[in-house]
Every structure is written in C-alpha cells, then in structure tokens.
Amino acid sequence: MAFLRDAESNPTVQAIFSTLKHVDATAVAAGLPLTLFGLAVSYYFIALLYSLFLSPLRSIPGPFLARVTRWWEYRVVKQGHSNQEFIRLHKKYGPVVRVGPNRYSLSQPKDVKKVYELGGKYIKTTYYSPLLSPVVHEQNIFAIQDNGLHKERRRKISPMYTMSSMVSYEPAVDEMTHVCIRKLNQFAKEGRLVDIPHWMQYYAFDVIGAITFNKSFNMMENEGDTTGMIKGIREANDFLAFWGIVPNLVPWLIGIATALGMTSNTSTLVSYALKQIDNTRKENAKSTVKGTTKYDTFLKKLLEGESEGRLKTPNLLDACGSNIGAGSDTTAVTLSSALYYLFQNPDKLKKLREEIDQKAADGGLSDPVTFQEAQDMPYLQAVIKETLRIHPAVGTILPRVVPRDGMELSGIYFPEGVGANAWVLHYDKGIYGPDPEVFRPERWLGDEKTSIMDSMMFAFGAGARTCIGRNISLLELTKMVPQIVRKFDLVIEDADKPLDTFCAWFVYPHYNGRFKVRE
C-alpha cells in the first residue's frame, strides 16, 4: 500500500511503526490470537489515518467511504449499476475521481491515452488476479499482468485474429446465421415472446463454437444453454467484477469453496475445450487428406502452429477458452443492444433499411450479407460504432498500476492505481457532442466525426491490451445486424420503459420482443 511505500519519507508514519517495533515479544506469544487481532486493527487504523490525513492524494474528490475502504466500490458493483454510477461521479467531481483507497477513475482523453498507450509502462493490477493460474505458462492471456509475457503470448496467436483471417471463418458464421434466421421465422410464425439478449447469446455461442472447433454448441436448435457454459462464464465474470476489488480475499474464498465441495460451471468450458482439442488431434492423425473440415477453423490453425513447434497445449487451451469466454458475451451484448436501439428509433431503422434495400436492388448484397459487402455500407458501420459507444459491453474500470517512479496525470502526481471506464468516456460531451445519451449514428458520418471520437472508443479496451477477439465480434455484428433488419420487424415489449440492465463485468441488457416477418 502507498502508506507503507511512503513510510521512509513521512515522519508521522515512521513514529507509528517505531512504536510497534518495541512491542514485547513475550507478551505477544502469551496472547497470540488477541495480539494478532490488535495488530490487524492497528494496521487498518494506520492505513485509515494515512488515507485521510497524510496521503499526497488525499485531496482527490470522491465519496467519503471510498477514501477508507474498498467495500464502497464492491457495494456499488454488487448493486448492478456501477457503469451509470461512475458517469454520475465524474459529472459531480470532475476528471479524476477516487473510487477506493488506492483506486482512481480517469476521464481526460490525454490521461487515458497515456495510461493505455501502446508500449506503455502501465501493467494490469491485482484486480485481475482472480482469473490467474498459479502456473505462469498456463495463465489466461487476458489476465496476465506482465506486459512482456503478454506481448510474447499474444504474438504467437495474433495472426489468427487479423481481418484477413476473418474471411476464412465466414462460412461458419453463415451456417449459424441460416440457423438463426430459420428459428426467428419460426418464432414469428408462432407469435412467440422472445428474450432477445438470451437468444443473441445462443447465436454468439454457436458461432464461436463453429469458428473455433468446427462444431456448434446447438444452443439455437435446443433453445437453451445446453452445456452450462453461459452460466459458467457469467459466474466467472461476476466473480472477477466483485472479488477483483478485494483480491486478497480470493485465496480464502477458493479455499472455503474447495473445502465445501463447491464447483463452478466454469470448469465445463475448460473440459470441453480440452476434449475438442484432443478429438481434433486424433482426427488429424487418422486423416491423410487435408481440408476434411467443413470450413477453416481457429483450432485447425492452432494445431498447425503446434505441429510446427510454435504453440503448446496451454497456448491452445488459452486461445480456445478466450474465444468462448470473451467473444460470446461481448458479441451478444452488442447485438442485442444494436437491435434495441434500432427498433426503438424508427428514423434510424428507416435509414439503415434504405441503405440495405438500395444495395440489394443494385445487386450488391448477398444472403447472408458478406463481411466485405458490409464494409461498403457506411450507415451500417455508423450504427455498429454508435452501438459500441452508447452501450459498450464492459461496464467496469479497467485498472492499471502506475510505474514505480510515478506519473503525473491531470496535474496530479500518482503513485497509485488508476484506470478508465468505457461508459464514462463514451458519455463525455467534450468528446461526443452535447447529446451522448442519444442513439445517433450520424455523429460518425461527415463533418461531425473527429479523430478524438475514434481514439476514445473504449469498447474493446485500448493500447497493447485491446481485446484480441475484437475482429471476431465485428465479423458477427456486421453480418447479423443487416440480416435481421432486412428480414424482420421487432416489436419490443414495454417499449416505453428505459432499457433494463445489470452491470458487473459486462453490462447485460434485459428485454423481450416479438419478431414479425417484414413485408
């Protein structure tokens, strides 16, 4: 903690610790439990005094309880609306806000660029430790704190995520898109009320299964979470969002859960990925003919890397698991948000349909829409960008550790942890104009668009730690949004009420609607 690092230079802190050094060791041994409790209370009391009266950052504004305990932020996250709360705090307190004893939220573009710049010195904090394996070479690429190790791991698999690689995955997306449209036609015929975000999760999972393993999870066909993975990933994300705030308690929680025999659905993802890797290896060993899969897959490329000695099993498991864990929810949240905002704004829907219908009339639109065709549809691209802006999937702060020698941000010298929140940045009037709360794709077109708008888009993170699966998500979005818009109307239930959301790690929207075949 900061008060320990500053002890050498702060005479008050030195005096407190000098007193503690002279505690009689014999007395301590005689009443060890009581002594340990007393020391713990003293430690917390010293930290409290330091934070309130001695810290060089004591003047940074924020809620009073956030100055003295991390449990303030935990409570806010647990309530499910932290994304909106952080926007409110920045409106009240300004560009730098305290959200914990050593956690600060930033909103100034120049500060955010410095913290998340490519090749920067800032590393991820212990907030991400709940996702870390104690075995370094098995650690999840998303949660790795060491920037050098992350760069090396990312370098090995990044060629599979390039936009040129996306074209090879497109047949898998098309197959799942056909399934989705067929099921939506069925729902329309039945007049069924559909949980739209849940359905988009089934679609996103089936796509990522086909892209990664050449095998759908069949969630759309079975109309449910057939593997328990959706529940497992939700558990993992919630665990990170809640307990990453107090990471020192994580080993205790895991120990208690293990002692009680409690298990998580997250293990389903790992065992499934390992099984698919093993099965594909066996199939490849039996087959003497190349190209026996229906289409190019992510795992196929990974196994080629393994056979060439570039990758090992932990790399394969990490990459496949990251695809499913990060790619499915991010895409599902954005897809369901795009549909919500389009069908709640008839004028925007009309503009997009005019673009789609005109391109189809000119013979420039396939069924399903190809990724390349979608790139030549400026209003569609603006709709996707505006959706990512107004409802970024991740709603929490992405914290970083300030370098050892500190850093000046917004005129303040920081020896502490800092971070930014996509929702705070995306609702900044200084960046996105006077109406950031309005869904208006036009802000991304013509003279309104500015370079700072693009540079502050934080939906997939920023810098060297940008979400590696970003292009997979964009592939699905640019193909599915126009397919649904061209074929269906969507009548949203309780359309006059604000969109209901729950934010822990991801900002999950909740709404129902009925599809109608477009005439």
Query: Could you read off the pLDDT tens digit of each residue along the chain, which spans 519 residues?
Result: 444 444 444 444 454 445 445 555 554 455 656 766 666 666 566 766 766 666 778 889 999 999 888 899 999 999 999 999 999 999 999 999 999 988 899 999 999 999 998 767 788 888 888 776 656 556 678 888 888 888 888 888 888 888 888 889 999 999 999 999 999 999 999 999 999 999 999 999 999 999 999 999 999 999 999 888 898 888 888 888 988 898 888 778 777 767 766 666 666 777 888 888 888 888 877 765 554 556 678 898 889 888 888 888 878 888 888 888 777 899 999 999 999 999 999 999 999 999 999 999 999 999 999 999 999 999 999 999 999 999 999 999 999 988 877 888 898 888 767 888 999 999 999 999 999 999 999 999 988 888 899 999 999 998 888 888 899 999 999 999 999 999 999 999 999 999 999 999 999 999 999 999 998
* DSSP 8-state symbol, 81: B
Q: For residue 290, give Cα distances in angstroms to 172, 271, 281, 284.
A: 18, 27, 13, 9
- How many CB atoms are located within 10 Å of the residue 174 CB? 20
Domain membership flag for residue 88 = yes
Q: What are phi and psi of 400, to 5 degrees?
A: -135, 155
CATH code, 285: 1.10.630.10
Q: Is 343 helix (H, G, I), strand (E, B) or coil?
A: helix
Q: What are phi and psi of 407, to 5 degrees?
A: -160, 145
Q: For residue 363, give Cα distances in angstroms to 157, 355, 478.
A: 37, 13, 18
Closest residue by Cα to residue 418 from 432, 408, 430, 427: 408
Cα–Cα distance between 352 and 347 in angstroms, integer? 9
In total, how many domains does the chain have?
A: 1
Contact 235, 242 (CB under 8 A): no
Domain membership flag for residue 290 = yes
For residue 123, what are the domain limits?
56-328+394-466
Domain membership flag for residue 402 = yes
Domain membership flag for residue 29 = no
Cα–Cα distance between 162 and 358 in angstroms, integer? 30
Q: How many CA atoms lie within 13 A of 237 on its CB side?
A: 26
Cα–Cα distance between 157 and 280 in angstroms, integer? 18
CA 111 to chain centre: 21
- 400's enclosing H/E stretch is strand 397-401
Q: What are phi and psi of 420, to 5 degrees?
A: -130, 160
Q: pTM (2 decimals)?
A: 0.88
Q: Which residues are annotated as a binding site?
A: 467
Q: Is 50 helix (H, G, I), strand (E, B) or coil?
A: helix
Domain membership flag for residue 505 = no
Closest residue by Cα to residue 422 from 79, 70, 90, 120: 90
Domain membership flag for residue 288 = yes
Residues paired with 502 in a beta bridge? 508
Domain membership flag for residue 262 = yes
Contact 234, 70 (CB under 8 A): no
Contact 402, 120 (CB under 8 A): no
Closest residue by Cα to residue 441 from 483, 490, 381: 381
Domain membership flag for residue 82 = yes
Q: Which residues are annotated as a binding site for heme?
A: 467
Q: Is 76 exposed, middle or buried (0-12, 13-18, 19+ CB in 10 A)?
A: buried
Q: Which residues contact 173 (CB under 8 A, 6 or more apart)?
A: 207, 210, 211, 368, 475, 476, 479
